[in-house]
Amino acid sequence: MEELSNRRLRLQIEPYGQWEEEAKGLIEEEMMRRGIRYKQLSRMLETLGIYESPDQINRKINRKRFSAAFLVACLHAMGVESIPIQQLKKGQDIED
């Protein structure tokens, strides 16, 4: 019974795995593009009232387990004004 429950949970989570990878990539790409390191991102988030250490941010991003609010806050803090959603790799795979 427990095995069946675990299998159902995995099936529910797997579709989001692709999107979690995309979200992680959005943050990392913007950080690289702008030459921002985790310590700098931490300071940038502080201006928005979000207090997380560089290590906490690093772990959160690398685990790919963070909220949409965290994603938007990071992108806003870095000065990202727009994201071309249609260019997301997984989004194109799903539409095909």
CA neighbor of 23 nearest in space, from 37, 96, 36, 80? 80
Each of the 96 residues of the chain gets a pLDDT tens digit; together they read 566 566 555 555 577 888 899 999 999 999 999 999 999 999 999 999 999 999 999 999 999 989 999 999 999 999 999 988 877 765 444 444
Instruction: Give the pLDDT of residue 29.
Output: 94
Q: With contact defined as beta carbons under 8 Å apart, do 44 and 36 qualify? A: yes
Q: By residue range, what is the domain housing residue 24? A: 2-95
Rounded-to-integer distance, Cα 74 and Cα 57, Å: 10
3-state helix, strand, coil in the chain (%, to 5): 75, 0, 25
Give how many domains the chain has, as a whole number: 1
